[in-house]
Homo-oligomer: A and B are copies of this chain.
């Protein structure tokens, strides 16, 4: 059985890169641990990994992995200070996401 993709008469024209970015950010937001990290950073900007690890009910390795996901989609930014890593929300990304969601839907 072959599947021919029919072109819709009037599909929404959204930049592919932008759409991919929207989906990545949504996926990152769609996990309870990562959502909790973002909320924590909201009230504790510039805190270190250790603070987040202490706050969360999961292992250090897993927390680090989640931070990586959030960094990759640029929802957060990090900076190494000596042996520690500080993290903040990336306001620009949040603004972009909010405005894009509002623009599309």
Binding site for B on A (CB under 8 A): 3, 5-6, 8, 10-12, 14, 19-20, 22-32, 35, 38-40, 42-44, 54-59, 89, 94, 97-98, 101-102, 104-105
Interface SS majority for chain A:
helix
| Contact A30 B39, beta carbon cutoff 8 Å | no
Q: In the bound complex, do residue B30 and residue A26 qualify as a contact, i.e. CB atoms below 8 Å apart?
A: yes
Least CB distance, A30 to chain B, in whole angstroms: 3
Tell me, in angstroms, the Cα distance from A43 to B57 when the chains sit together. 43
Do A35 and B19 contact each other (CB < 8 Å), given the known contacts A24-B30, A30-B30, A102-B98? yes
Min CB–CB distance A68 → chain B (angstroms): 17
